[in-house]
Structure formats: C-alpha cells, structure tokens
Amino acid sequence: QVYSYEQQAPSFVQVKMASAQQSAIRVVHLIRRLAADASSSNASSSGEALSQLSSRIASALRGAALSGSAAPLDKVKGMIQDMIAKLRAAAFQDAEKKAYCEKEMAYTTEKKDEKEEDIESLSTKIEQMSAGSVKLKEEVLVLRQELGALMRDQAQMDKIRAAEKQIYTKARPEIEQGIDGVKSALKVLRDYYAQSDDDSASSTSAGAAGIIGAMEVIESDFSKQLAEIIAEEERATSEYDDRSKENEVSKSMKEADVKYHTQEAASLDKTTTDSQGDLTNVNEEYAAVMEYFDNIQKACTAKAEPYEERAKARANEIQGLKEAMQILASQSASLIQRSARRTLRGAAVLSADVN
C-alpha cells in the first residue's frame, strides 16, 4: 500500500489558514484592548478608531473563513500600518500645535503684560497731570484773590494818602500865613515900642514885653506845628511810596505767577487729553490682545489632559500596534518555515514510495 503524505496531515493551505487566523485573532484582541484603554482614558481620542480597526480586522477574518481563502495577513498588516500612520500624523499635528500654542501663548502673554504696563503708566501719568492741573488752578485762584486784596489795599492807601495830602496842602499855607502874620505883628510892635519916648518907655516896657513874648510863643507854636506837619507829610509820603513799590513788585510777581500757572495748567490739560486718547487706544489694543489671548487659551487648553499625557497615550497605542505587526510578522516567518519543512517531508515520502 502506498502511503500518501496528504492522507496523514492537513494540507499546507489548511495549516496556513488556521495559523494565520489564530494570529489575526490575537491581533484583534490586542487592538480591542488598546481601544478599551483609549476609551477609558481622557488622554486619548483614538478609542473609536481603534475599535473600528478591530472590527474591520474581525470582518476580514470572517470573510476569509467563509470563502476558504488564506488568512488575509497582508490586508490586516495594511490596516494596522495605516492606523500607525494616522496616529503618527496625529502625534505630529499635536506636537506642532503644542509648539504653536507655546509660541503664541508666550507672545500674547508678552503683549498682554506690555499693554498692562502701558495702561498703568498712562493712567498714573494722567492722574498725576490731572492732580497737577487742579493744584495749579487752585494756586491761580489764590493768587487772583491775593491780587484783588492787594489792589483793594493799594486803593485804600491811595485814598488815605490823597486825603492826607489834601489836609497837608491846605494846612501848610495856612500855618505859614499865620507865621508870617505873627512875624509881621512882632515887627510892628518892636518898631512901635522902639520909637516911644524914654519917659514913657519905663512905664510901657513891661506891657510891651508881655505882648511881644506872647506873640513870640504863638510864632514858635506855629513854626513847631509847621515842622510837625511837614515831617508827618514826608514820613507819610515815604511810607506810602515804599508800600506802593512793594505792592507793585508783589503785583507784578503774582500776575507773572498767574500767567505761568495758567499756561502750565492749560499745557497739562492738553497733554492729559492727548494721554487719555492714547489710553483709549491702548485699552482697545489691550481688549483685542485679551480677546485673542482668551481664544488661544481655549484652543490650546480645550483638552482636559495635558500634551505630555496625550503623547504618552498615543505612543502606547503605536507601540501596541507595532506589537500586533510583530505578531503578524512572526506568523509569516513561521508559515514560511513550516512550508519548507512540509515540502521536504513530502519529497522524502514520495522518494520512499518510488523506491
């Protein structure tokens, strides 16, 4: 009886199909585990894609089993390689987004800080200039009040001086006239008594001396009064002139201060208005920066998990898919070796039968 190798063991195609299916099932289970891990983790968004991949591989296996064809290892490998490529592309995009976010966040933070410093600086400047303007205007008000008081004081001095001058102008001629009258009277009396007879001189000398003495006292009083009003006029005039000069100097200084303070306050008001316009522009720029800052924050922090955890999860998924590829690669190598052994064994049996 001729012993046939084909009658002793399954065909090579059957063995290859069964082994390939077992390997593919291991791969399906591995990918399903990766999908489950990804779905349970907030750090990964690949759960659904991995789950679909495992379903596609399982579907391919069922189709191969029904058709009786060899296990579609190449097709499964292609699916896994495509998934690895997608994960790598996603990882690259995530890394690019991370770099973009870091750059934009750093730049926007810098601009935000810069605008905040500008706002603080302008606000402080406006506050200081406004306070300075208010202070200058208050000083101008005080100066104007002092000028008013000074002018009223000068007017009162002018009035008093005019009255004093009028009294002096009227009194001096009168006193001088009185002195001249007394002097004339004394002259007449002295001349009269000097011409009297010697006999009568002794009898009238006592009376004449009394009259002349009284007149001389009157002349002295008038002269003294004249000297007093002249001295008083000179003193009043000197005091009036000195105070008037002081008032004039003070008036000139205060008017100069009013002019300078008014100009300085006006300049501060103009600069304040310009700075307020600048502050409005900076506030608008700051609002635009903050709007962009909020948007970039939302875009870059939309995912709850940080980039490092997402990168780690994606690396684990890629590594798992690589393990699946290694399983399939090992299965391919095993099939090649098994095919070679079966070929040798078949040749040996056929040789024995022939002999």
- For a pLDDT cut of 90, what percent of the chain falls above it? 41
Structural tokens at position 318: 């890629």
Residue 29 has what pLDDT?
Answer: 79
Residue 16 has what pLDDT?
Answer: 53
Under DSSP, the state recorded for 305 is: S
Residue 196 has what pLDDT?
Answer: 62
Residue 94 has what pLDDT?
Answer: 77
Measure the N-to-C terminal CA separation of the chain; round to a whole number of Å.
Answer: 13
pLDDT tens, per residue, the chain with 355 residues: 443 444 444 554 455 555 556 666 777 777 788 777 766 665 566 777 777 877 887 777 666 555 555 556 667 778 878 878 887 887 777 788 888 888 888 999 999 999 999 999 999 999 999 999 999 999 999 999 999 999 999 999 999 999 999 999 999 999 999 999 989 988 888 888 777 655 455 555 666 778 888 888 998 999 999 999 999 999 999 999 999 999 999 999 999 999 999 999 999 999 999 999 999 999 999 999 999 999 988 888 755 456 667 677 777 777 777 777 777 676 555 544 544 444 444 434 333 442 3
Residue 248 has what pLDDT?
Answer: 96
Residue 34 has what pLDDT?
Answer: 77
Q: From CA 216, how far away is CA 220, in angstroms rounded?
A: 6
Residue 350 has what pLDDT?
Answer: 32
Q: From CA 154, how far away is CA 255, in angstroms rounded?
A: 15
Residue 131 has what pLDDT?
Answer: 96
Residue 12 has what pLDDT?
Answer: 47
Residue 44 has what pLDDT?
Answer: 61
**DSSP string of 192-209, one letter each residue:** HHHTS-HHHHHHHHHHHH
For 161-184, how does the pLDDT look when each residue is reduced to its tens digit (9 = 90+)?
Answer: 999 999 999 999 999 999 999 899
Q: What's the one-letter identity of residue 52?
A: Q
List, in order, residues 6 or more apart from 203 with CB less than 8 Å away. none
Please give the helix or strand (H or E) that residue 325 lies within, else none. helix 307-354
Residue 347 has what pLDDT?
Answer: 38
Structural tokens at position 179: 């002195």
Q: From CA 87, how far away is CA 31, in angstroms rounded?
A: 14
Total-model pTM: 0.55
User: Residue 323, SS3?
Assistant: helix
The angle, 0 to 180 degrees and rounded to 10, between the axes of the packed helices 12-39 and 47-67 is 160
Residue 301 has what pLDDT?
Answer: 74
